[in-house]
Amino acid sequence: MDKSRYVIAKPKDENNLVVEKEGDKDRFIVGRDGDHLMCPFQCDECHFLNMMARRPIEDKAEDIRLMGAIRRANLDAFWLREPLTVSKNLQEARRSIRIRESLGLPKSKPFGPMGPFPLDDTFGMTEAVIMLERSTDKGKNADTIQFQTMRKLRSMFNNVWQASARGQSPMVMAKEKNKLSVLESKTHCEFFERFVRGAHKRMGDIVKPDMALSLPILHEIMRLIEADWSNSENDSDREALALEASFYLIAFCAGLRGEEVPL
């Protein structure tokens, strides 16, 4: 897989510096023993076969790119859970198998079959790889777009599904004024939910909040207003300048947001 094609987030401290901890070098780029016991899983080639109805061609650029995106989607779904959670779940699964064998229970108990899955893209892998390719587009505040921009594709997929002939669910659960429709949209299946949340965890968020007005900037604003006041030739212009200055001072001294000042 071309790992450089997708953004691999690294843990950072409160000073926004990368923190290298034991095991962090493999974060988001490897699977762990027991991942398949916490997330629906099919191998890269099985997903490719379900999506393309053929096997990948080894030296075909499009197939190599698609296989890389499938691997990334699988790993994102896995990494929704932390390594310790996965290892503890695996430990309990092995313990339950030992107990089952000691009691002579059938091998099918207590777990159900882990496959095979239908020969179709029931995981929503097609939608997942499209979202991953979208995530590599150039962003405004970073090299690539943010997760909240990428996730708009999921809303689009769901809207189009509900508008389609297959999206008209015959099953509706209702009680009084509450109503719940039963959907078969792939973008709400267990794997896709885990993929989206895992991708968010990997990509993170770059937040750029509006900064508070500093005292030096306020002083500079007042200086400019006073200069305009001195050059004003009528009372109406001075009244407008006085209201503007009052707005800045009230907002700054009272710690108010812009829309709160006139209120």
pLDDT tens digits along 240-252: 999 999 999 998 8
Read off the pLDDT band of 1 (50, 70, 90): very low
The reported pLDDT for the residue numbered 7 is 60
pLDDT exceeds 90 at position 175: no
Percent of the chain residues past pLDDT 70, beyond the cut: 89
- Residues sharing a CB contact under 8 Å with residue 114, sequence separation 6 or more, in sequence order: 36
52 within 8 A of 1, measured Cβ to Cβ: no
CA distance 3 to 228: 57
The reported pLDDT for the residue numbered 170 is 66
The reported pLDDT for the residue numbered 167 is 77
- List pLDDT tens digits, range 148-162: 999 999 999 999 988
> Of the segments 7-21, 96-110, 157-171, 204-218, which one has the largest average pLDDT value?
96-110
User: Residue 178, SS3?
Assistant: strand
- List pLDDT tens digits, range 98-118: 999 999 988 877 888 888 999
pLDDT exceeds 50 at position 223: yes
CA distance 68 to 1: 4
Q: What is the mean pLDDT of residues 133-148?
A: 91
The reported pLDDT for the residue numbered 172 is 72
> Residue 244 CB: number of other CB atoms within 10 A?
13
> Residue 241 CB: number of other CB atoms within 10 A?
17
Residues in the chain: 263
Q: What is the mean pLDDT of residues 65-86?
A: 96
CA distance 2 to 77: 18
> Residue 155 CB: number of other CB atoms within 10 A?
10
